[in-house]
Chain A
Amino acid sequence: MRLDDLRLAFPTPAGPLPVLDGVSATIGRGEFVSIIGPSGCGKSTLFNSMAGLLQPDTGRLLIDDIDRTSSTAHCGYMPQQDLLFPWRTIAQNAALGLEVQGVPRREARQRARDLLPEFGLGGFEDARPSELSGGMRLRVALARTVLQERDVLLLDEPLGALDALTRTEMQDWLQRVWSRHRRTVIMVTHDVREATYLSDRILVLGPRPTRIVKDVTVRLARPRTIDTLTDPEFLRVEALLLRELRGDGSAGPRASNSPATT
């Protein structure tokens, strides 16, 4: 997947508001890449243009050398909120993407049922979203994303709404899901440790209008465990990222506080 000089400005009453200022990157097949950057710098905007929901003013998005700029349905997209629908059961929510693709309803729901136990949701197939905890809802949303069988998964702060304990649990679990399904994962996060723990590569975005200011490769063996957290490489990357985020002055308290919260 290649991002080639993406630029985007939102029209506002006060004139155009530039958000993406030439974002370029190449992401390999099966890589786990985190995107980190100050709040409001344009991470969700970048994701929305990658998912084809927003049209960049200039620049291209290539997947397997095919131009996919402004076309939808090539990425599994998990938005910042879980967006489960109350009128669908858990299995039906997870199957939604397949049904949209035209998979017959019964088959789609059966495939969802088959996947849900792996996501720790066995026994909850026929429950309603309102009966689930935050961590479970998140896993349903992720199951819905994974089931779509797209090569690229875009996860916008998937763990952002969870408490610290559940979050650590979900990080391990996300790593397991990724290593089993081996999709390309691009994840937005505010959490430096989370990014370091999970990723092969971390792209650091600058303040708005944003572009990639740092591309960090994480050389840590997998699977990563509690011991990884004290590995010199882990500490090196973490320090590097913190310096990068703080250095530009607009990193804000969220980024610099994050080590304490994980």
Chain B
Amino acid sequence: MAGRRSLAPSSQVSFPRARTSLARTSLARTVLPPLAALLVLLIGWQLYVMLSAVEPRILPSPLRVVEQGWRQREIIADHALATLTVTLIGFGISLVVAWVLAIWIDFVPGLRTAVLPLLVASQTLPIIAIAPLMILWFGFGLLPKVLVIVLVTFFPIALGLIEGFSAAGPRAGALLRAMGASRWQQFRYVRLPAALPRFFTALRIGITYAVVGAIFAEYVGAVEGLGIYMSLQKNSFRTDLVLAAVAVTAALSVSLFLVTYLVERLVVPWNRAGAGRG
């Protein structure tokens, strides 16, 4: 026992250090290769445009995209801000809808079998056909865009939660019941924390859908936003500015994606720790 006890402090001190260096190398390993690949692609693209003298209207060089985009930076930033706002509002509402729905399904027996097929069906609605109708019904304001975002994102999140709530298994539930736990206590002590890893996986899928959904809804009709900006620039044959807006959109998606990792690290620290070692 003495040996075990003396081992404990040193092993616990070394864990965090091992963890951060591991995180740093794995970050470098996950971030550097895609960046290098992107760079190679851009150089190839630049060379191709220079050598083939293709019209910028058809295919502008990446340098031209950056240069023209930079000139329009303030306008693009305004549109990006509008898109970000719509995305966050829509996604926020989607999260509320998904949580309420998932908890409701979790607490009411039999609801799952009744509601899940409807949820699946809602995902087969062709968004290309629905988005213009939304604009038609609800105008160019916030509402139709938010509805599109909610429609495309709540499902993966709700499903992740519904499945996550039972991830700890029936035996964990039995243990809690034997302790005398109420249904609510079972939810709070086991079902909710057990669902969090899956929730964050679903959150990452959802947030990328949300940006795409926002751009799409704007593209169909809006006053401001990257989507409508792309649409207008395309109509005036400014392919370079369309691509500049695309690049900003990509940067936006990636940033939001990374934010979910940060939040996950704060909310479910055990998941990383457990995954790292076993």
Contact = CB atoms under 8 A, between A and B. Distances in A.
Q: Do A and B make up one complex? A: yes
Interface size class of B (residues with CB under 8 A): 20 to 34
Given A75-B178, A96-B189, A131-B11, 12 more contacts: A53-B177, A72-B177, A72-B178, A77-B179, A79-B175, A83-B171, A86-B274, A87-B196, A100-B189, A123-B9, A124-B8, A127-B12
Contacts of A40: none
B168 A101 contact: no
Contacts of B42: none
Interface of B: 1, 4-5, 8-9, 11-12, 15, 168, 171-172, 174-181, 185, 189-190, 193-194, 196, 268, 270-271, 273-274, 277-278
Contact of B180 (A85, A100, A126, A131): A100
Contact of B270 (A52, A72, A86, A99): A86
A130 B178 contact: no
Contact of A128 (B9, B176, B270): B270
Interface in A77-103: 77, 79, 81, 83, 85-87, 96-97, 99-101
Contacts of B181: 100
A210 interface: no
Interface size class of A (residues with CB under 8 A): 20 to 34
A96 B189 CA distance: 8
B273 A128 contact: yes
Contact of A87 (B4, B11, B176, B270): B270
**Which of B12, B175, B193 has the most chain A CB atoms inside 10 A of its CB?**
B175
A131 B277 contact: yes
Given A87-B270, A127-B12, A77 B178 contact: yes
A130 B274 contact: yes
B175 A77 contact: yes
Given A79-B171, A96-B189, A128-B270, A122 B179 contact: no
A120 B5 CA distance: 9
A123 B3 CA distance: 12
A73 interface: yes
Contacts of A51: 178
A73 B180 CA distance: 4
A196 interface: no
Interface string A138-172: 00000000001000000000000000000000000
**Which of A51, A52, A85 has the most chain B CB atoms inside 10 A of its CB?**
A85
A85 B277 CA distance: 16
A124 B4 CA distance: 10
B35 to A, nearest CB: 33
Contacts of B175: 77, 79, 83
Contact of A100 (B174, B185, B271): B185
A249 B207 CA distance: 62
B180 A101 contact: yes
A83 B12 contact: no
B165 to A, nearest CB: 14
B121 to A, nearest CB: 30
A8 B270 CA distance: 40
A86 B269 CA distance: 10
A53 B278 contact: no
Interface string A35-56: 0000000000000100111000
A131 B11 CA distance: 10
13 contacts: A72-B178, A72-B180, A77-B179, A79-B171, A79-B174, A83-B175, A86-B271, A97-B179, A101-B180, A122-B5, A123-B5, A128-B273, A131-B15
A66 B80 CA distance: 69
A215 B273 CA distance: 48
Contacts of B11: 131
Nearest to B181: A100
Given A97-B179, A100-B180, A120-B4, A87 B193 contact: yes
**Which of A85, A100, A120, A130 has the most chain B CB atoms inside 10 A of its CB?**
A100
B172 A85 contact: yes
Contacts of A52: 177-178
Contacts of A122: 5
A53 B4 CA distance: 37
